Amino acid sequence: MTTRLPHTLRSDARDNRERILDQARAVFVAEGLEVPMREIARRAEVGPATLYRHFPTKELLVAAAFTDQMLACRTLVDEGLADPDPWQGFCHTVEQLCELQARDHGFTAAFMAAYPHAMDFTAIRTASITGAAELIRRAKATGRLRADVGIDDLILMIMANNGINAGTQAARLAASRRFAALMIQAFRASPAAVPLPPVPRLAPAMPRRPGR
């Protein structure tokens, strides 16, 4: 019993930490980052002391909850930079960022959060933004990206894509893909008539007129 107890405690602590992170991600995405720490502890079914033992500040909890999303963002930007055609790399990153966001709304909260004391999280976020700015610079050099596009335009795109409201994830993905295609057309220096992906029905059905 004595030799197995430390392992049991480590396992319990690990389970508590994962449960806290799962609940924190869900709450932050659904209700925003202002949800009190005690409410997150309650939903994770742990005491406040347990929560603060794992995450002494809200900043560290948010950073830990969304680190995976920021790593995914960094990977997509790196994939775009690795493409030998900078314009195609830029388009790939736009498409995949929108899809990532449609699949996981935690991405938006992660990207828009700024927590200077969560050093690893901040470093990943900074590297993603720096890489995206370099991707924009390279795409401009090809003459196919508008000269007046900047990093703030990508952030504006992320904010707008976050507003897509659809009944199912499949519909949200379809709408997000069409939105990404529209954005690429807007970013292009010389817009071309490229077919757009199909869009799901997003508007509510119109009421039938009397007698029809």
pLDDT computed for residue 48 by the predictor: 93
Q: How many degrees, rounded to 5, is the angle at CA 105 between CA 70 and CA 42?
A: 95
Alpha helices in the chain (DSSP H): 5-31, 37-44, 48-54, 58-82, 86-103, 106-112, 119-141, 151-161, 169-187
pLDDT computed for residue 120 by the predictor: 76
For the ranges 75-89, 94-108, 113-127, 180-194, the maximum mean pLDDT occurs at 75-89
Per DSSP, 204 falls in state: P
Range with lowest mean pLDDT among 18-32, 58-72, 100-114: 100-114
63-187: what fold? Tetracycline Repressor; domain 2 (1.10.357)
Domain-by-domain residue ranges, the chain?
1-56, 63-187
Average pLDDT, the chain: 84
What's the whole-model pTM score? 0.75
Q: Which residues pair with 188 in a beta bridge?
A: 145
pLDDT in tens, 159-195: 899 888 887 888 889 999 999 999 999 999 986 666 6
pLDDT computed for residue 206 by the predictor: 46
CB 164 within 8 Å of CB 175: yes
Q: Residue 42: which residues within 8 A CB-CB, separation 6 or more?
A: none
Per-residue pLDDT for 10 more than 80? no
Q: What CATH number matches the domain at 1-56, 1.10.10.60, 3.30.460.20, 3.20.20.10, 1.20.1260.10?
A: 1.10.10.60
Average pLDDT on 141-156 reads 93
Element (H, E) at 34: none
pLDDT computed for residue 198 by the predictor: 73
pLDDT in tens, 14-42: 889 999 999 998 888 778 778 899 999 99
CA–CA distance, 15 with 91 (Å, rounded to integer): 40
Per-residue pLDDT for 116 more than 70? no
